[in-house]
Amino acid sequence: MEVEAARFIGAGLMFGLAAIGAGVGAGVLSSKLIESIARQPELEDQLRPTYFLGIGLVDAVPMISVGLAFYVLFVA
């Protein structure tokens, strides 16, 4: 296989898998947050920082993957 083609396939896989992972993670987190707030609205202020911490942790690895995919696509 040509190197150029392999590069595009690799970058495509990186984008796609990163999107799937981040989507599932963020979806689970958000749905649980909404459920929890619906059940106990008075806890919202306590839940929100934890939620953002979780979102940051979930977001980090896919973001790195996207950056590396761009690197593979345009620089390497």
Partner 1 sequence: MASESSGRTFQEYLEHHLQNLVYGPLPAGHERKFYAKGSDEAGKEVYCQDKNLNYDGEKYCNETLTENGWYLANNKTDVEAMGFWALHIDTMFFSVLLGGLFLFIFARAAKNFSLDKPTKLQLFIEMMIDFINGVVKGTFKSAKNTLVAPMALTIFAWVLLMNLMDLVPVDLIPYPAELLGIPYLKVVPTTDLNLTASLALSVFVLYLFFSIKSKGFVGFIKSISLHPFGPWMLPANLFIEIIDLLAKPLSLALRLYGNLYAGEMIFLLIAGMVSIELTQLTIAGLGLNLAGIGLSLIWAIFHILIVVLQAFIFMMLTVVYMNMAHEKFEQH
Distances (CA, A) of 41 to 19, 23, 33, 47, 55: 31, 25, 11, 10, 20
Binding span for partner 1 by CB under 8 A among 1-9, 22-30, 36-44, 57-65? 57-65
Do the Cβ atoms of 62 and 21 come closer than 8 Å? yes
Q: Does the protein bind partner 1 through residue 24 (CB under 8 A)?
A: no
Q: Does the protein bind partner 1 through residue 19 (CB under 8 A)?
A: no
Is 59 a residue of the active site?
Answer: yes
Active-site positions?
59
Which residues sit at the interface with partner 1, rule CB under 8 A?
Answer: 49, 52-53, 55-57, 59-61, 63-64, 66-68, 70-71, 74-75
